[in-house]
Amino acid sequence: AQKVTQAQTEISVVEKEDVTLDCVYETRDTTYYLFWYKQPPSGELVFLIRRNSFDEQNEISGRYSWNFQKSTSSFNFTITASQVVDSAVYFCAPRPGGSHNNDMRFGAGTRLTVKP
Amino acid sequence: DAGVTQSPTHLIKTRGQQVTLRCSPISGHKSVSWYQQVLGQGPQFIFQYYEKEERGRGNFPDRFSARQFPNYSSELNVNALLLGDSALYLCASSLYVGLAGASNTGELFFGEGSRLTVL
């Protein structure tokens, strides 16, 4: 069975602080894909990044960076120099490697509040 | 270009009633997926349709059904509504049905949802 855990329910930071969102995905699958989505107050989910389980290279894209460690099943997402517009609920969403459909297993989400 | 559009945006029903939610995907997208998001939780997969055929079904009772039309729009129907069906129903469209294809990021494009309240 697969299990996705976002242990941080809510995080509050002051603008310009860095913030890291944690996600742990426990699975016996050797191949899987990990997505991060952002849900602003308007409701629609916005795709941020996708990582493959067979690629542990960490990357940076603008203010976003992600750290994937397969040995600990952790897939953490960092926002540097946070802005008020980053306030949203962030979801980690794994997808099984053998999936032939869009069945994504969203975590419970982390609500990020960035204060001015 | 228009994004994923859903209607209605809000609706209130009573227990036992039936509801139909509608979704129009991004132009050119042939896959539509439905998710249920209960307050305070992450979305849960209900259905996926691709080229008018069901390609995936989540762990939901038979009261939930869906279909996709020749223009790739979709409807989600829920019969015999229960209080626990109160949720935000999200529709997502994508070009592809899974993750195949070198240029396929697997990104789903979501609408703003239909918020259903069952009294």
Is residue B89 classed exposed, middle or buried when 0-12, 13-18 and 19+ CB atoms within 10 A define those classes?
A: buried
Q: How far apart are CA B39 and CA B20, in angstroms?
A: 20
What mean pLDDT, rounded, does chain B reach?
A: 91
Determine the pLDDT at residue A73: 83
Q: How far apart are CA B84 and CA B88, in angstroms?
A: 12
Residue A44 has pLDDT above 60, yes or no: yes
Residues of B in contact with A42 (CB under 8 A): 112
Determine the pLDDT at residue B69: 96
More confident residue, A95 or A63: A63
Residues B74/B25, Cβ–Cβ less than 8 Å: yes
Residue B105 has pLDDT above 90, yes or no: no
* Residue contacts between A and B (CB atoms, under 8 Å): 75
**Mean predicted confidence (pLDDT) in A30-50:** 87
Q: How far apart are CA A76 and CA A59, in angstroms?
A: 11
Task: Determine which of A50-54, B1-5, B66-70 has the lowest per-residue pLDDT on average.
Answer: A50-54
Q: Is B45 on the interface with A (CB under 8 A)?
A: yes
For residue B94, give both structure tokens. 């994508």
For residue B110, give both structure tokens. 């979501």
* Partner residue opposite A91 with nearest CB, options B33, B40, B42: B42
Determine the pLDDT at residue B95: 81
**Mean predicted confidence (pLDDT) in A23-27:** 89
